[in-house]
Amino acid sequence: MRSKRSLFGTVSLSLASLLAISTSSGCSKLEELTGDKKEEEPKKEETPEAKPEPTPADGGEEPQVGDKVAVADGGEVEVAVVEPIPVEELRTGLDLMLTLVPEGAEFMIARDATVVADYVEEATRFLDGPMATLDKGPFSSERELAEAKQGFEEVKAKTALIKAALDSSGIDLKQGAAIVKDTKSDQSFIVFNAPDPNALVAVGKATGESDLNDLKCKAIEKAPGFNVCGDEQAAVDAYAPVDDPAPLRAKLGENLPGVNLDDANLVGHVDEGKSDEVYMAVSTIPGQVYLAVTMPQNKDMVELEEGMEPGPASTLAQVQPGSGFVWARVNKALLDEPLRDLKGTPAEPMGKSLTGEFVLAGSVDPGGVIMQMGTTDTPGVEGVLSMGFEMGKGIVPKEIPEVPGSKVVFEQLDLEGGSNKAKAVHFGVTGIPEADVLKSYTGLHLDGWAFAANDVFTLAVGPDKDNVGKLLDVTAGGPSADTLASLPPQLAEGLGRN
């Protein structure tokens, strides 16, 4: 018999498999909103200062519906109405799902479990393209690629098998599902909606998932349609959900400040009282996933939180709409501590000028990755870069040792972008096969750049000499209206409150 503790891993894995690979019919499910529909305007005190509507890059007026616009082939097309993304509200309220959890239990709730499957299905489709490209590329004969391809095909086959079993099982994932662990008995359970309490066992038998075959199940009388399954019949018989969801909702709200729980599709609390204790809420909205996580007992996370401070997000001026980024603002007092070693050196003014603001972001045009640090002394930073270049130009080799044909470039160049200029230090590598492979697969170049402009110190990897100037063609001061509009509302509002 499996140990009580191992069951939680088994149950977690089993339900994760079910949720991850079960899908419903239709090709447009990712266009559905699986959270409550919200149409209210945000409160004025919580929103950023109003920004003008974004304008086209050419400075002209935004075309209206019905207008004719030119296209690349020389013809014209009529501007169409942009329909809103279809919204499907959650069928099961959060309070009902919370009343399926026993008092003091740990849990992971999915109010609509099909959304997990949708994202995994989309990820599978996304991987189809790269796998096909790699299979025809220079690494097609590599053993690791062959093993990865075989594993990928096995996952797809298993996905189809379990999907078929779920489709015929009667389990309604849209009504919600949960993984629950009773901390008093150390027993774990799966809660789901189906006419037959043993529907999950039937899925296990149909798919060869032996971990599901021995589950003991019963209907939850206080919640018609919902069932619970576990490893031991006595524990299942004793399963007693709470009557009032209010205390559990209050506990979630206290530990997830600023999160609208009714917007969340996935809600969880695990490892209570341990250093890895986690509260989480996930809103699955059209085209986006908004994840909020707190770890109140984790010392590293507490120290990290204490090391941050609110403030303007000036470096986000460089972030393009739709690009991924990580932004932070470090407590200036903590930042000054390690910079004391610069005292008395030419780099001291540069260290003092750092604001504590950092951003790591992808760049679409030009293609690359950028890291930026806020500064109040752009000329001072540029001076330190020039000094570093003078010190390094006699040290950097002209080629990579033992790599025939390779060339290394280390130079200082003047960059221009829009109305902005900067003196940049450039490090580049050419003449090696890896550079051509990188360019063919990603469009990136083996070029690195360091420069200061627009109140930020920038390190960029990927843009070539012809395109790096585009990184200067921005306005300092914060994220653009287009960038804010591309973010989840919770994140955009949070940046405004900073």
Quick one: three-class SS letters along 221-290? Answer: CCCCCEEEEECCHHHHHCCCECCCCHHHHHHHHHHCCCCCHHHCCEEEEECCCCCCCEEEEEEEECCEEE
φ/ψ (deg, to 5) at 298: -85, 115
β-bridge partners, 372: 359, 458
d(CA 3, CA 244): 31
Structural domain boundaries in the chain: 1-34+86-297, 307-497
What is the pLDDT at residue 338? 74
Q: Residue 115 is encoded by which pair of tokens?
A: 């959304």
Structure-token pair, residue 484: 């804010």
Q: ∠423-424-425 over CA atoms, to 5°? A: 135
Q: How many helices (DSSP H) and strands (DSSP E) are in the chain? A: 15, 17
Single-letter residue type at 270: V
Closest CA to 30 of 110, 86, 69: 86
3-state secondary structure 110-140: ECCCHHHHHHHHHHHHHHHHHHHHHHHCCCC
Q: Give the integer Cα–Cα distance in Å for 383 and 425.
A: 11
User: Which H, E and C letters describe 316-339, residue by residue?
Assistant: HHHCCCCCCEEEEEECHHHHHCHH
Q: Structure tokens of 50?
A: 């109003």
Distance, CA of 254 to CA of 363 (rounded, Å):
37
Mention every residue, 6+ apart, whose C-beta is less than 8 A from residue 302.
Answer: 296
Report the predicted TM-score, pTM, of the whole model to 2 decimal places: 0.64
DSSP letter at 251 equals H
Sign, Cα dihedral of 486, 492, 496, 498: negative
Return the structure tokens found at 382.
């540029």
Instruction: Give yes or no for a contact between 223 and 241, defined as CB atoms under 8 angstroms apart.
Output: yes
Closest by CA to 167, choosing from 338, 23, 53, is: 23
Residues in the chain: 498
Q: Express the helix, strand and coil content of the chain in percent, nearest 5 each.
A: 35, 25, 40
Question: For each of the chain's 498 residues, which pLDDT tens digit applies?
Answer: 333 333 344 343 333 344 333 333 333 333 333 334 444 444 444 444 444 444 443 444 555 656 665 554 556 767 666 565 555 667 688 999 999 999 999 999 999 988 766 666 777 777 777 777 777 766 666 778 778 888 888 888 887 788 888 888 999 989 999 999 998 888 999 999 999 999 999 998 888 888 888 899 999 999 999 999 999 999 999 999 999 999 999 999 999 988 889 989 999 999 988 889 999 999 876 666 788 999 999 999 888 888 888 888 988 988 988 888 999 999 888 877 777 777 777 777 788 888 999 999 999 889 999 999 999 999 999 999 999 999 998 899 999 988 888 999 999 999 999 888 999 999 999 998 888 888 887 889 999 999 999 889 999 999 999 999 999 988 767 888 888 888 877 788 878 766
Nearest alpha-carbon partner for 329 in 351, 308, 299: 308
* 54: preceding bond cis by omega (within 30 degrees): no
Produce one character per residue of 82-104: b if its CB has 16 or more CB atoms within 10 Å, e if not.
Answer: eeeeebbebebebeebbbbbbee
d(CA 474, CA 317) in angstroms, rounded, equals 7
C-alpha span between 70 and 3 (Å, rounded): 68
Contact call for residues 380 and 372 (beta carbons, < 8 A) = no
Contact between residue 281 and residue 267 where contact means Cβ atoms under 8 Å apart: yes
**Token representation of residue 81:** 């109405």
- Tokens at residue 138, please? 């220079």
Q: And the tokens for 86?
A: 């279809």
Q: How far is CA 459 from CA 364, 428, 468, 483, in A?
A: 16, 13, 11, 21
DSSP string, 394-429: TTS-SS-TT-TT-EEEEEEEEEEETTEEEEEEEEEE
Report the alpha-carbon distance of residue 48 to residue 58 in Å, rounded. 26
DSSP 3-state of 27: coil
Tokens of 365: 């045009």
Give the list of residues 6+ apart from residue 153 with CB closer than 8 angstroms, or none: none
